[in-house]
Copies of this chain bind each other. A is one copy, B any other.
């Protein structure tokens, strides 16, 4: 085997320092030396769990975790339909991945399948929920009740269950105290206090970019461990805080890249696999949307 050095899953880098005159309103941000950045990200190794003692669970690849969430959704739908068992072939097809990958992903949970038969739906659901930490609720705070924040707060309790929105924040005086989706909006200044009081574990940032870092700092001060950032800004956080970002502009630009690639590269003869017509599929299903 190979001797591995730093284990630790690559999280988002967290060594860099903000530069420029980040106005950041309020920002009492520390100086943060930019130069001499220590290339070797050497956080206190600790946390990584792995090391000490034997662990029953070896770290699951980040990519696999994301897929587990998808499998869970598909399995729940199947269970509701009455299915009791599934094969890796069926489940993988429904989840849009190939079966080998699915089996590998499930193997991180342990061995819960039956050879020659498949997996028991309920068992699998239970195991994935346990692994993803869904056996307990994670209270969510949404910061920035603008268009997006408003939508998030009204998301009917938030996607799937288990993520109750328990706090809302904004800086607009006209919004403070106004209930949105049943929760009154509090002021940004109260983030630390309210997050501690309500035991918030996940913070969602839906503010303009200029306010994002400041809001992030307050969430961290409030003991929030994970942050979902919708603001187009790079956040600086302590090593123990997990950040995931959803950047609409980036997504669109990636799509733009692919459009350009397809259109621009039309040099050769064969590009799009023919099939210009998609064959309008008349499958009109009842859409139950808003």
Contacts and interface: CB of A to CB of B under 8 A. Distances in A.
Nearest to A192: B280
Given A34-B90, A40-B90, A156 B28 contact: yes
B280 A12 contact: no
A25 B289 contact: yes
Nearest to A281: B217
Contacts of A62: 254
A10 B39 contact: no
Given A26-B290, A150-B151, A199 B272 contact: yes
A72 to B, nearest CB: 7
A117 interface: no
A138 B271 CA distance: 10
Given A164-B281, A289-B25, A256 B39 contact: no
Contacts of A138: 252, 255-256, 259
A49 B96 contact: yes
A166 interface: yes
A18 interface: yes
